[in-house]
Amino acid sequence: MTALTDCLKRHAASTPSKTALIDAYGNTLSYESLFRAVTEAAASMPRTRALVFRASPSADFIIRYLACHEAGVAAVPLERDASAEEMDRITDLAAKADIPEGVADILFTTGTTGNRKGTMISHSAIMADAENLIGAQGFSPSLTFIITGPLNHIGSLSKIWPCLTVGATVHLLDGLKDLSAFFGAVDMAEGKVATFQVPASLRMMMQMARRHIAERSDRFDFIETGAAPMAQADMEAWCAALPHTRLYNTYASTETGIIATHDFNAGVCEAGCLGKPMRHSSISIGADGFISCSGATLMTGYLGDDEATRKVLHDGAVHTADRGSIDSEGRLRLAGRDGDVINTGGYKINPVEVEDVAMAHPAVEDCICIPAPHPVLGTSLRLLVVTNGHAPLDKKQFAAFLASRLERHKVPLLYSVVESIRRTFNGKLDRKSYANATEQ
């Protein structure tokens, strides 16, 4: 079975001096030096089935992560600020649970409700994910991929996989707190660059650094987004700023792996269009409208929770809580996530549709559409808005703006200006935290 460390060994032999890794602290490792460090760390790896450790944008983290793969130990990276108690709890869980042979990683979900699940991912699934991305997005040895997100989450961690497979360079940054560091990484790259950013980060970058992005349009090979819906207005802004850059919107999850991707800068720029399944994946839509994914990228199961595994992984597919459809060209169209839909006045409203239109308003920086009690309808729509300071938000004019672009029953009845919108650590709107919202 081919693993990431087999690819690392091959590149260490064929291109030993090629830069494999640049971390957020200025450390640079060639493929030869990275392979040597990994093999040394693997040789001293403790005899355990799984190793729990904190993720960080450092060479030490990458070495430990790959050393686990080399030693046959499941890597369990947690968020950088994970408490000692949480690490001890998951270490105990991993010690007691059955971890099948071939499991490479165990990634824990965000856990906004406190119910975190450890998703087991095999070496073969990782390699299938890598090949999916290489074939669909064009990873090459001359590429430098800039990673700014948390490396305990599949969105960012999965970009290391194709880079090491083809022999590209990984450049780790400590988030996007310092945009000058991001553009510095772009400028120092020997060839073209690529990056993965959640939609909220792409919107922030476009608002704060549109000129810097446009000035470097010839440096970007491609940019990928995912993990949350991207507003139509934001998609169009990126297409305008980088007319010759591939811009991908990807459908993926920890449980399914990397499934489908769509270049929205190549003809069809439509929110919710996530493209065709990649090489090792397939998609079907059930009679209930839910998306099911099959293929080589699926998870092995949830750590120590066979019942939860059986609920989503059966009949050779992961059955998701996402609703969607397949268009006439075979592209996946996302229609919202079960549980996010708001029932009001006999209508079922996908809040993403409302948010997408609201984000096109010049005064809106961020927003979320949530349910609110109503004496007649039972439930109505409330829109919480963060303004960008460029123009005041006149609520009546704003409602008229929405009414000109949405069906009447989709226009919120209530509006509140707030200082910020709550999001999970990986950039998704934290809808569950607003379940009992009382913002006025």
**What is the CATH number for 419?**
3.30.300.30
- In 217-259, which ranges are continuous DSSP H helix? 232-241
- In the structure, what pLDDT confidence band is assigned to residue 439 with cuts at 50, 70 and 90? very low
- In the structure, what pLDDT confidence band is assigned to residue 1 with cuts at 50, 70 and 90? low
- Provide mean pLDDT across the span 420-439: 74
Beta pairing, strands 347-349 & 342-344: antiparallel
Beta pairing, strands 220-225 & 246-253: parallel
> Between 322 and 425, where is the model more confident?
322
> Which pLDDT score is estimated for 112?
37
CA-based R_g, the chain, Å: 22
Beta pairing, strands 332-337 & 103-108: unpaired
Residues 67 and 168 in one domain: yes
- In 167-305, which ranges are continuous DSSP H helix? 179-188, 199-215, 232-241
Per-residue tokens: 189: 């790259």
- In the structure, what pLDDT confidence band is assigned to residue 423 with cuts at 50, 70 and 90? confident
> Which pLDDT score is estimated for 386?
92
Residue 260 pLDDT more than 90? yes
Contacts of residue 84, defined as CB under 8 A and 6 or more positions apart, other chains included, come to none
> Between 431 and 58, where is the model more confident?
58
- Provide mean pLDDT across the span 225-239: 89
Model confidence pLDDT, tens digit, residues 31-87 = 999 999 999 999 999 889 999 999 999 999 999 999 999 999 999 999 998 889 999
Residues 323 and 365 in one domain: no
C-alpha distances in Å from residue 123, one per residue of 202, 351, 352, 368, 404: 31, 37, 35, 38, 50
> Between 216 and 439, where is the model more confident?
216
Among 275, 300, 335, identify where a domain stops. Answer: 335
- In the structure, what pLDDT confidence band is assigned to residue 111 with cuts at 50, 70 and 90? very low
Domain that holds residue 365: 340-434
Helix (H, G, I), strand (E, B) or coil at 411: coil
Residue 436 pLDDT more than 70? no
> Which pLDDT score is estimated for 429?
84
Question: Could you give the CA distance from residue 211 to residue 235 in angstroms, rounded to a whole number?
Answer: 17
> Which pLDDT score is estimated for 92?
94
Residues 302 and 195 in one domain: yes
- Cross-strand pairs, 317: 314
Residues 358 and 261 in one domain: no
- Provide mean pLDDT across the span 112-128: 84
> Which pLDDT score is estimated for 204?
87
Does residue 124 sit within a domain? yes
Residues 377 and 330 in one domain: no
Residue 207: CATH number of its domain: 3.40.50.12780
> Between 420 and 130, where is the model more confident?
130
Element at 162 (helix H, strand E): helix 154-166
* Contact status, residue 347 vs residue 406, Cβ threshold 8 Å: no
Model confidence pLDDT, tens digit, residues 354-410 = 998 998 898 898 999 999 888 877 788 999 999 987 777 888 899 999 999 998 889
Does residue 172 sit within a domain? yes
Does residue 439 sit within a domain? no
> Which pLDDT score is estimated for 440?
41
> Which pLDDT score is estimated for 2?
80
- In the structure, what pLDDT confidence band is assigned to residue 250 with cuts at 50, 70 and 90? very high
Among 304, 320, 335, identify where a domain stops. Answer: 335
Helix (H, G, I), strand (E, B) or coil at 332: strand
Does residue 296 sit within a domain? yes
> Which pLDDT score is estimated for 212?
95
Residues 313 and 345 in one domain: no
Residue 428 pLDDT more than 60? yes
Question: Could you give the CA distance from residue 120 to residue 298 in angstroms, rounded to a whole number?
Answer: 9
Classify the phi-psi angles of 295: left when phi > 0, otherwise alpha if psi is within -120 to 50, otherwise beta: left
Give the number of other CB atoms < 10 A from CB of residue 85: 8
Concatenating the DSSP letter of every residue in 60-120 gives HHHHHHHHHHHHT-EEEEE-TT--HHHHHHHHHHHHHS---TTEEEEEE---TTS---EEE
* Nearest to 223, CA basis, from 85, 206, 128: 206
Residue type, 332: L
- Provide mean pLDDT across the span 126-146: 98
Structural domains in the chain (count): 2
Question: Could you give the CA distance from residue 254 to residue 8 in angstroms, rounded to a whole number?
Answer: 24
Give percent above pLDDT 90 in the chain: 72
* Contact status, residue 176 vs residue 399, Cβ threshold 8 Å: no
Does residue 440 sit within a domain? no
Alpha carbon 429 to chain centroid, angstroms: 13
Question: Could you give the CA distance from residue 260 to residue 332 in angstroms, rounded to a whole number?
Answer: 8
Question: Could you give the CA distance from residue 25 to residue 10 in angstroms, rounded to a whole number?
Answer: 27
- Provide mean pLDDT across the span 246-264: 96
Relative orientation angle of helices 154-166 and 123-137, to the nearest 10 degrees: 80
Residues 318 and 346 in one domain: no
Per-residue tokens: 269: 């720029």
Residues 269 and 217 in one domain: yes
Average pLDDT, the chain: 91
* Contact status, residue 20 vs residue 29, Cβ threshold 8 Å: yes
Among 284, 315, 335, identify where a domain stops. Answer: 335
